[in-house]
Amino acid sequence: MGLRVLGAAWLLAALLPLGAAAAVAAPEQTGVAAVAGRRAIASTAEDFICATLDWWPPDKCDYGTCAWGRAGLLNLDLSNKVLLNAVRAFSPLKLRLGGSLQDKVLYGTGDLRQPCTPFVKNESEMFGFTKGCLPLRRWDELNAFFQKSGAKIVFGLNAMNGRVPLPDGSMGGPWDYTNAASLIGYTAGKGYQIHGWELGNELSGTGVGTRIGAGQYASDVITLKKIVDAIYRSNPSKPLVLAPGGFFDQGWFTELIVKTKPNQFNVITHHIYNLGAGRDTHLIEKILNPSVLDNMLSAFSNLQGILKSTGTSTVAWVGEAGGAYNSGHHLVTDAFVFSFWFLDQLGMSAKYDTKTYCRQSLIGGNYGLLNTTTFQPNPDYYSALLWHRLMGTKVLATTFKGTNKIRAYAHCARDSPGITLLLINLSGSTKIQVSVTQTGAAAGGHNHGAGKGNFTIQASVATKASAAAAAVEHKHGGRRHGRRFGHGHGHAPGFAGFPAAGGGATRDEYHLTPKGGDLRSQVMMLNGRALATGADGSIPRLEPVKVDAAQPIAVAPYSVVFARIPHFQAPACS
């Protein structure tokens, strides 16, 4: 009989969408996370979240699919209301304009001695396209949109002008900056606000398509700095100078920093596509695998080490990160499951003093924060917006023990007392009950600066709620009949002595789940409610559930929780 029941349960799980099996029964597990609140281990920029706009034309195709449509910088519909509202919601959102074709872009300024024509598909050319041109009329249109939306713009310049092939296969000779300097001069003359000018795309290390040596790149960056200094000399808000917009290579990046220190450029940018090709059929397994997520730790750590040891004022950004290269993978990198990778990347990079993180892309390909044709936000858009609104600039050391399926990150709360805790549950079968208690010292792990006065987030054993009750709570957003979303009813041990936690203290919780429990869903549920734009193209309100601070935080299988805890007294945040 037992075997027959087990078989039926297995059959039911097999018939459900990926991730939905969790709704059948969610056993609970305990664990301990420690947040060191005494001092910050790192800090991010106020506008940490950034997204990219790319140059790809509609006939850019990968593996037989053309996923870019009219989302490129030369043809994007800038009058779309959702696009405007999506950017405005961040106030501000950094936008990095660049990508593979950036080093083939000419600018239609007065010095251009040829017609300003668009990219044309040509398989014999690098990246499959000829050179293309940005007409000044389009540059004016783009800047009008940026001004209206309040975006902060980083523009990636063509670093390939004037290069000659060298015997070793790389490109050499000094950068011909004439056309770029002309665009910078035009932009400054028009009063367009540019946050930064970035030199080149993926030419560092072994390069993508081609490469340039670090020594030559360093002298070109110094040239760009001189151009920016000269053009903006009377301007109080001088743009940043960024480079190289490529993949991290320890030796190459070290040489660039050493030859430009202490202050020849402001930001060193690196790119991340650590999940492999977009055609990979194992992307979801990789995203749910903690050791795959951890494979970027060394790059973040090593780059931070170079910056600290060389005595430079340059800081690190992630300049482009799409996870899976060649435009991503439909119903993976544009679906709920990708928020596990994306939020984990934001948390991990912030711990290593990354100041800004630019997601590829705002729109276009299969990894856009917005749908390429409808402009509707994909799940990661809401993940990014919640991060932007809840996670402050100060990063707190955080560890979790008990299961490697929980990823935990904490920052001082943004514009609010206390902290915001981010919990990501990579398990599709186990619900984690997390309760909060004070402790004198934090556990080990990647715990930079843990010490006295730390906090522990402790998972407590809670009674197993029936699947039916859990489903009812989930369906009604946890607000019906006085139930709180996703919580057991047992009082958590370890809350005694928690400062101001008793006597009606509450915290805000934001539970993110996929519609129908399907990891491939493109609809994000917030506290059981589907997020969608209004008829007028407005971005929906992101409302928390108020939870009794004495109750544990329940992290459902395959879910993400942001918990804003105002009574968490972290000296680092005062």
Structure tokens that stand for 446 in this block: 């990647």
Asked if 393 and 131 touch (Cβ cutoff 8 Å), the reply is no
* Residues linked to residue 448 through DSSP beta bridges, in sequence order: none
Task: Judge whether 202 counts as a catalytic residue.
Answer: yes
Residue owning tokens 């856009």: 368
Which residues, other chains included, contact 160 with Cβ-Cβ below 8 Å and sequence gap of 6+?
103, 104, 171, 200, 203, 210
* Nearest alpha carbon to residue 557 among 427, 446, 435: 427
Q: Which residues pair with 196 in a beta bridge?
A: 154, 240
Catalytic residue among 28, 320, 473, 509: 320
Q: How far, rounded to the nearest angstrom, does the alpha carbon of residue 311 sit from its chain's CA centroid?
A: 28
Angle between helices 136-149 and 178-189 (to 10 degrees): 50
Helix count and strand count (H, E) for the chain: 12, 28
Is 164 buried (19+), middle (13-18) or exposed (0-12) by CB count in 10 A? exposed
Q: How many residues does the chain have?
A: 574
Distance CA 86, CA 379 (A): 13
Q: Which two tokens stand for residue 253?
A: 């990046």
Cis peptide bond N-terminal to 262, omega within 30: yes
Which of 41, 37, 12 is closest to 353 using CA atoms?
A: 41
In terms of Cα–Cα distance, which of 321, 322, 320, 326 is closest to 277? Answer: 326
Q: Which two tokens stand for residue 316?
A: 């690190």
Considering only CA atoms, which of 445, 440, 439 is closest in space to residue 457?
Answer: 439
Phi/psi of residue 118, nearest 5 degrees: -75, 175
Q: Comparing C-alpha atoms, which of 451, 413, 552, 561 is closest to residue 495?
A: 552
The three-state secondary structure class of 565 is strand
State phi, psi for 216 to the nearest 5 degrees: -65, -40
Burial class (CB in 10 A: 0-12, 13-18, 19+), 243: buried
Q: Helix or strand or coil: residue 422?
A: strand
Which secondary-structure segment (H or E) carries 194?
none
Beta strands 240-246; 196-199: pairing state: parallel
User: What is the DSSP-derived secondary structure letter of residue 536?
Assistant: T
CA distances to 95, 242, 281 from 285, in Å: 30, 35, 9
β-strands 431-438, 455-459 pairing: antiparallel
Q: Known catalytic residue: 509? A: no
Q: Which of 28, 202, 473, 509 is catalytic?
A: 202
Sign of CA pseudo-dihedral 304, 310, 316, 319? negative
Task: Report how far residue 401's alpha carbon sits from residue 33's, in angstroms, rounded to the nearest whole number.
Answer: 6
Contact indicator for 342, 359 with CB cutoff of 8 Å: yes
Q: Which residues are catalytic?
A: 202, 320
